[in-house]
């Protein structure tokens, strides 16, 4: 039973065809032969600067054919309704390719002075011109907000059609639920945003003695949970073996494999972000996708859109610092965690070890009100001993005390891979009679939402000596460090060298933390 | 005399063809008929995830033809040197279009186990495999870093050819300098990074009584200076009437107008950023280009690349806050100034009025060691009275005291359009017997570089009551505000309403600043 068989319509202008993201998405749509995708290209020849031929003279139809699309050029212009309807019907019948319908239109159609001009693009037409248009159409130029009766009657028919279609679909779904009760329940749960699995049972528990990169821990989580989450789609922008986003048993979603749940986005980060938003916007399905953290820049508009529209998209960013090593500064993010934290309504996670990573995923899978970004290491990290340190389950509070002593002289605040540095500094300071408290801060946005009481219990307002440690720029840390704080991290781009050498050369070391703590206490 | 007649060669892989930025740039290159652009498409069928056909099956040659390019497909593969050389010669002779040379290649050519596999993409081949390759080529597998004599001799010929070409060019340039002494001097000055105009004479001085948007002030500066800067190219990503980037007398750079200095980038922000970097990397020419600040996200990888490579690219971002008004949250940047400030070696300017804007341009035109971003308002701002307030020339120090009183109780720190709010709050506080100092901070990065003494003289370490005011997110302000500071700005996305209503509803008002100052003093 075709409980989901709708077509996706896109109305696109020349600007949309010029933007790189649509080139990426269209190439992939052609590759995947998405036959239910219908793009109506509103080809009006006008941009804000003037005629499109100022900057755009390619053969768009030929380009889309090169992508493997069907292209239908509507004869005449956008007012040739009969031809347009015919084109739409053809497109709906198409079963092998996406379709681009090229429709020559006229901006501000019917406006005596502004039709086919850039003047109609960026600004309102103005009262006088609106009156002239109405006159031109044979309407009363003095009346506003008029809906002629025949238009009202015609439009209300659409409501009736919709009601009939809904009744029909509901009946079909009833039959579907009888035939496939489990699948129907899955559908209902997904619609309701219910997670019908027991995450605590499924999530792996990582042994303290091991060293494991958080990207690997993330991969292990996906192996464990994804077989139970049939409506979640994974993928990567051609970094699968690095992002470790392909779960055990995953099959590629391809032209000949529509049941596959792993999308090969190709080297197209921006389209990946936008497509994941589309998948997550459906209310039924959800998507995660991987790339290097440094490439989050390529998909930033999609991340912003997810935050603005509250899509529960999951951005998996691995290789999250100079710890990347030899690939060098082009591949070493230093400003990206800070830049992501600047986006409202995006939750940015940087877990400290494998078990924090599992807890981040636990939170993420339950969280449906907006996007999340996971920042994960390439390099191995010691798995923290939860009998000695605070429990990783505290990830859900955004920040928590990892280890403490009575009357701390200094707070060591850190995230991700630098928690190891903070803990070693704690030991060293302890040996020198200095009391440090170590706070893990995997998600600032979650911590901000905690009651003031909890926040004060973690950050102890009376302790002014604070060291922030993160292998990224200081930007944003001032808030936690206050006037007397010191930041140990990056202030420049990285360099090409093994991770260990990078950390040493850029001064993100136990010695530097101890030195800064002592200096700050003494001052 | 052809003192500049080189071709631009690009070696591109499948990843480059998949990325949106190359689609944007290639479409524009076709439109502009850049006949000296030659792209060699290294078509090796392999990406990190595996065969390119996992995600990429478009007809690339047909796509480039659609862009208006000449496409030459080399028969056989990348080892058919004769055919490849022939293709290069054809491409160099081409006088009407850019050329794409499609060259079927084999990754890890000659490697018995890794040729044509993804294993050769992301990781080193390994010592054993390298020995096998050497054996395969008939080389001694035990020797490393060997350059056979005949290769050395052949390569050194290239050095000789280069020397001859340089001598020839130098002679030509001597003749050129005799024939066109002024143009030759211009060329030499540009090579030396010299600015041979008197900016103080050229820059407009804005009257105190007027209200003017900083984008308009920027436009007036460009009108004044650009006719004197023949090696600077302007442009916009289809927002010319909004960015006000087209200077008086500017002509478009087009296929039939190579002397034009204004580039219509179309709706292609990412390509604009990348192309500006290319122009600015030449060491002779320099580029500025405009778009809305919110669209800086689209070109972020290019901004980063400019910072990393120290290209003196000038990013002009107008419509810099909720002051954009009715276009609403999709067009209202709230996190972008913060996110740009996170990028190392990028200078971010947010001038407070027309005269600060002129001073920013003065600094920018002299600054050649890295990129700058100008964040400019859509809405009008009062031009500050420099007889009453600190001089706008202080912009070069990054931050300065705008107005002061003895023994300030509170520091009001602000940038851009919110300086008006800070100054009005100053007056109101003054009337209530509270002493405020107002500090304008148009460029944090420049301020950071000042001597500690100057910084302390501006920020007065003893004054802990500080209010930061900026129509963006708080992220990054903690550094200036310290533990007792308060931030007045945005914590969410914006909304669609007239600018005034937005500022009111989001609480960026004189009343809120006064209230925060009093509360903080009392606590």
Provide the shortest C-alpha distance from residue B236 to chain A (in Å): 9
Provide the shortest C-alpha distance from residue A443 to chain B (in Å): 14
Task: Work out the pLDDT band at A18, boundaries 50, 70, 90.
Answer: very high
A16, A30, A46, A56, best to mutate vs chain B, most B CBs in 10 Å: A56
Task: Give the residue on A whose Cα is nearest the Cα of B56.
Answer: A31
Provide the shortest C-alpha distance from residue B66 to chain A (in Å): 5
Q: Which residues of A are catalytic?
A: 269
DSSP letter for each residue of B469-480: EEEEE-TTTHHH
pTM: 0.97
**Are the C-beta atoms of residues B422 and B414 closer than 8 Å to each other?**
yes
Cβ-based neighbours of A358, under 8 Å, separated by 6 or more: A203, A204, A205, A206, A217, A220, A221, A392
pLDDT of residue B53: 96
Task: Give the residue on A whose Cα is nearest the Cα of B462.
Answer: A483
Average pLDDT over residues A4-23: 96
Place of tokens 């944090």: B444
Summarised one tens digit per residue, pLDDT across range B486-513 is 999 999 999 999 999 999 999 999 999 9
Calpha distance B441→B341 (Å, rounded)? 13
- Residue B22: name the closest of B301, B432, B354, B306 by CA: B301
**Are the C-beta atoms of residues B255 and B32 closer than 8 Å to each other?**
yes
pLDDT of residue B283: 87
B336, B475, B477, best to mutate vs chain A, most A CBs in 10 Å: B475
Are B57 and A30 in contact (CB < 8 Å)?
A: yes
A14, A19, A244, best to mutate vs chain B, most B CBs in 10 Å: A19
Distances (CA, A) of A104 to A101, A189, A285, B91: 10, 44, 35, 35
- B14 to chain A: which residues are within 8 Å by CB? 267
User: Does the beta carbon of A251 lie under 8 angstroms from any beta carbon of chain B?
Assistant: no
With 0-12 / 13-18 / 19 or more C-beta atoms within 10 angstroms meaning exposed / middle / buried, residue A95 is exposed
Are A239 and B338 in contact (CB < 8 Å)?
A: no
H helices then E strands: how many in chain B?
21, 19
Calpha distance A188→A181 (Å, rounded)? 10
SS3 B67: coil
Summarised one tens digit per residue, pLDDT across range A346-368 is 999 999 999 999 999 999 999 99
B32, B57, B215, best to mutate vs chain A, most A CBs in 10 Å: B57
Place of tokens 């498409």: B41
Among the partner residues A18, A122, A240, nearest to B49 by beta-carbon distance = A240
* β-bridge partners, A232: A286
Are B342 and A344 in contact (CB < 8 Å)?
A: no
Summarised one tens digit per residue, pLDDT across range A299-328 is 999 999 999 999 999 999 999 999 999 999
Residue A283 predicted with pLDDT over 90: no
Among the partner residues A49, A240, A335, nearest to B264 by beta-carbon distance = A49
* Contacts with B, A 467-486, CB within 8 Å: 473-484
User: Does the beta carbon of B81 lie under 8 angstroms from any beta carbon of chain A?
Assistant: no
Are B19 and A24 in contact (CB < 8 Å)?
A: yes
Could you tell me the strand order of the sheet in which B486-490 lies?
B400-403, B436-440, B410-414, B466-473, B486-490
**Are the C-beta atoms of residues B440 and B414 closer than 8 Å to each other?**
yes
**Are the C-beta atoms of residues B320 and B350 closer than 8 Å to each other?**
yes
**Phi, psi angle pair for A471, to nearest 5°:** -80, 55
Are A240 and B65 in contact (CB < 8 Å)?
A: no
B15, B58, B329, best to mutate vs chain A, most A CBs in 10 Å: B58
Average pLDDT, chain A: 96
Q: In A110-230, which residue ranges form alpha helices assigned H by DSSP? A: 119-122, 127-136, 149-179, 181-191, 199-202, 214-225
pLDDT of residue B299: 98
Summarised one tens digit per residue, pLDDT across range A115-174 is 999 999 888 899 999 999 999 999 999 999 999 899 999 999 999 999 999 999 999 999
Tell me whether strands B380-382 and B372-375 are parallel, antiparallel or unpaired: unpaired
User: Does the beta carbon of B44 lie under 8 angstroms from any beta carbon of chain A?
Assistant: no
User: Does the beta carbon of B456 lie under 8 angstroms from any beta carbon of chain A?
Assistant: no
- A378 to chain B: which residues are within 8 Å by CB? none
Calpha distance B505→B213 (Å, rounded)? 22
Calpha distance B99→B41 (Å, rounded)? 10
Are B55 and A14 in contact (CB < 8 Å)?
A: no
User: Does the beta carbon of A257 lie under 8 angstroms from any beta carbon of chain B?
Assistant: no
Provide the shortest C-alpha distance from residue A24 to chain B (in Å): 5
Are A63 and B59 in contact (CB < 8 Å)?
A: no
Residue A249 predicted with pLDDT over 90: yes
Calpha distance B303→B346 (Å, rounded)? 8
Task: Give the residue on A whose Cα is nearest the Cα of B263.
Answer: A55
DSSP letter for each residue of B413-466: EE-GGGHHHHHHHHHHHHHTT--EEEEE-S-HHHHHTS-HHHHHHHH-TT---E
User: Does the beta carbon of B56 lie under 8 angstroms from any beta carbon of chain A?
Assistant: yes
Summarised one tens digit per residue, pLDDT across range B414-453 is 999 999 999 999 999 999 999 999 999 999 999 999 999 9
First-to-last CA distance in chain B? 74
User: Does the beta carbon of B507 lie under 8 angstroms from any beta carbon of chain A?
Assistant: no
Q: Is A486 left (phi over 0), alpha (psi -120 to 50) or beta?
A: beta
With 0-12 / 13-18 / 19 or more C-beta atoms within 10 angstroms meaning exposed / middle / buried, residue A249 is exposed
**Phi, psi angle pair for B151, to nearest 5°:** -70, -45
Largest CA-CA distance found in chain A, in angstroms, rounded = 90
Q: Which two structure tokens, joined as six digits, stand for B167?
A: 């001598």
DSSP letter for each residue of A322-378: GGG-TT-TTT--SSHHHHHHTSTT-EEE--SSHHHHHHHHHHHHH--SS-EEEE--S
Residue A216 predicted with pLDDT over 90: yes
Task: Give the residue on A whose Cα is nearest the Cα of B495.
Answer: A308
pLDDT of residue B483: 87
Calpha distance B223→B308 (Å, rounded)? 30
Average pLDDT over residues A224-237: 97
Residue A185 predicted with pLDDT over 90: yes
Q: What parts of chain B have a pLDDT lower than 70?
A: none
DSSP letter for each residue of B128-177: HHHHHHHHHTTS-TT--S---HHHHHHHHHHHHHHHHHHHHHHHHHHHHH
- Residue B29: name the closest of B12, B43, B8, B14 by CA: B8
**Are the C-beta atoms of residues A338 and A270 closer than 8 Å to each other?**
no
Among the partner residues A63, A475, A477, nearest to B66 by beta-carbon distance = A63
pLDDT of residue A333: 98
- B341 to chain A: which residues are within 8 Å by CB? 475
Are A342 and B473 in contact (CB < 8 Å)?
A: yes
Calpha distance A287→A271 (Å, rounded)? 13
Are B20 and A241 in contact (CB < 8 Å)?
A: no
Are B265 and A480 in contact (CB < 8 Å)?
A: no
User: Does the beta carbon of A14 lie under 8 angstroms from any beta carbon of chain B?
Assistant: yes
Calpha distance A239→A218 (Å, rounded)? 14
Q: Chains A and B: how many Cβ contacts under 8 Å?
A: 244
Task: Give the residue on A whose Cα is nearest the Cα of B328.
Answer: A308
Calpha distance A430→A424 (Å, rounded)? 10
Q: Which residues of B are catalytic?
A: 269
Q: Which two structure tokens, joined as six digits, stand for A98?
A: 């996406």
- A59 to chain B: which residues are within 8 Å by CB? 65-66, 68
């Amino acid at each position: 039973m075709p409980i989901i068989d709708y077509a996706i319509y896109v109305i696109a202008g020349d600007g949309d065809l010029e933007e790189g993201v649509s080139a990426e998405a269209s190439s992939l749509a052609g590759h995947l032969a998405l036959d239910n995708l219908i793009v109506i290209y509103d080809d009006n020849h006008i941009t804000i600067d003037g005629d499109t031929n100022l900057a755009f003279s390619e053969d768009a139809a030929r380009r889309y054919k090169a992508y493997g699309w069907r292209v239908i050029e509507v004869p005449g212009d956008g007012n040739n309704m009969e031809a347009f309807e015919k084109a739409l019907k053809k497109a709906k019948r198409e079963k092998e390719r996406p379709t681009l319908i090229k429709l020559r239109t006229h901006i501000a159609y019917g406006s005596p002075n502004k039709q086919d001009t850039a003047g109609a693009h960026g600004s309102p037409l103005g009262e006088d011109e609106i009156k002239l248009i109405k006159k031109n159409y044979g309407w009363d130029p003095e009346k506003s907000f008029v809906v002629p009766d025949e238009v009202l009657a015609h439009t209300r028919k659409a409501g009736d059609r919709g009601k009939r279609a809904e009744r029909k679909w509901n009946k079909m779904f009833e039959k579907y639920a009888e035939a496939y009760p489990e699948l129907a329940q899955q559908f209902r749960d997904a619609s309701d945003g219910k997670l019908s699995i027991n995450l605590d049972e499924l999530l792996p528990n990582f042994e303290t003695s091991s060293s494991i990169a958080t990207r690997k821990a993330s991969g292990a989580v996906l192996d464990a949970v994804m077989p139970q989450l049939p409506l979640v789609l994974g993928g990567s922008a051609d970094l699968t073996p690095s992002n470790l986003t392909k779960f055990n048993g995953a099959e590629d979603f391809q032209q000949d494999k529509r049941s596959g749940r792993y999308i090969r986005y190709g080297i197209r980060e921006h389209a990946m972000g936008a497509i994941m938003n589309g998948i997550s916007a459906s209310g039924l399905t959800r998507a995660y996708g991987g790339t290097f953290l440094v490439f989050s820049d390529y998909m930033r508009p999609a991340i912003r859109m997810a935050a603005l529209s509250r899509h529960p998209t999951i951005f998996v960013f691995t290789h999250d610092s100079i710890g990347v090593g030899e690939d060098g500064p082009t591949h070493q993010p230093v400003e990206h965690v800070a830049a992501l934290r600047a986006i409202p309504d995006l939750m940015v996670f940087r877990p400290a070890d494998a078990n924090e990573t599992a807890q981040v995923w636990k939170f993420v899978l339950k969280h449906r009100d907006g996007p999340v970004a996971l920042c994960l290491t390439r390099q191995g990290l010691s798995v923290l001993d939860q009998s000695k340190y605070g429990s990783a389950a505290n990830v859900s509070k955004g920040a928590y005390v990892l280890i403490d002593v009575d009357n701390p002289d200094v707070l060591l605040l850190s995230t991700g891979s630098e928690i190891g540095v903070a803990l070693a500094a704690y030991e060293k300071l302890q040996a020198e009679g200095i009391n440090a408290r170590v706070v893990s801060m995997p998600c600032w946005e979650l911590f901000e939402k905690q009651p003031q009481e909890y926040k004060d219990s973690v950050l102890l307002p009376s302790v002014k000596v604070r060291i922030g440690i993160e292998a990224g720029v200081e930007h944003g840390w001032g808030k936690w460090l206050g006037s007397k704080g010191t930041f140990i991290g990056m202030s420049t781009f990285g360099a090409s060298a093994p991770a260990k050498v990078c950390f040493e050369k850029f001064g993100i070391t136990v010695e530097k933390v101890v030195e800064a703590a002592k200096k700050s206490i003494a001052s």
